[in-house]
Structure 1
Amino acid sequence: MIPLITQTPRLIILAASRALLTAELHKPQYFPVLLGAAMPADWPPGEYDREAMHYFLEQLTAGGRDSAGWFGWYALRKATDATPRTLIGTGGFMGPPDAEGTAEIGYSISADWRRQGLATELVSGLVQQAAATGMVRQLVAHTETENLGSQQVLLRNDFVLAGPAADARLRFERAVAPAADPALGAGGA
């Protein structure tokens, strides 16, 4: 089973569920209550829009438990003395890996939370999540040619520019090594 939560130093990254997506789409007043987090003023951020929410909900509904963790994820900034736990962005996979073990990621951070390294941390968490599944061998991501910030996020997470994609965006790739099995101990098998 795929873990449905991962953490980085400043983030809790939570897999979208049908309940969360349904609330986000149809009962937005309950969405922050279910997340246990404050909402940013500009939600939803970037390319994460109602179409993406509907797509993730449809995929989770069609795929049942097997699809959990392979679509949207919410990035929650951990509470500090100065701020409550806050939803700061979203990211995730465009679906399970293909037969070769390739999966695509995407991410977006709310405007108020940009330029703080949180997108880099979110992508790092998604890479960790992909490795933890043991199913992903390569991650790909696409970004607009003028989005230098997004390109830097990918480069900081060991993605390399693979060239232009068919849709004129840039394609980045990164190999993923499976996470070590903690049951095997530090020495491996």
Structure 2
Amino acid sequence: MRQLVLSAVLSASIAIPALAETCPPAPDHAARLGELIDQIQQADTEMAAREISNQMWELWADAPDEAAQAVLDRGMSRRSAWDLLGALQDFDRLIAYCPNYAEGYNQRAFVNFLRQDFKAALTDLDRAIELSPNHIAAISGRALTLMGLHRIDEAREELARALALNPWLPERHLAAEGGPLAPVGQDL
């Protein structure tokens, strides 16, 4: 128990000083991400694509500095534990400290999506994509969010855009024949 309390105090102390400092620029992984997109488009199996996708996630989740990384990791842990309000606080803090780091917006959007606050999610996804135009997860998240807002034609376009970058996305079934985001004439 003492270790748990100490761990909580240490992680909080890492995040608090970060807000008083200036966030450095996010690492520029655009070239490597482009290589991974090329690889995933050529992947022969879902397993191979999943491995490439995991490498993409490592790039997106590479925060600008140690303090930002600690807040991002804590927020993602809270989200995974369904502590959505705690996660939201962490991602608010991360965005306040690193307003040019796309993953902060993407993660806050995911929390808002889970809370069914689709308008807030859409705003954050737009910013994440503005900062990282090939952020496939944010683009597919935008498709799902637009679907939640019943903006089906826009959702269909966004999912097609995401699938053009990564044809192995789990959301691809939504665009399959009979799916809710299938091309017009192939949907139900």
Asked which structure has the greater RCO (Cα within 8 Å, sep 6+), the reply is 1
In the superposition, the TM-score normalised over structure 1's length comes to 0.28
In the superposition, the TM-score normalised over structure 2's length comes to 0.28
Larger radius of gyration: 2
Structure with more of its chain in helix, by fraction: 2
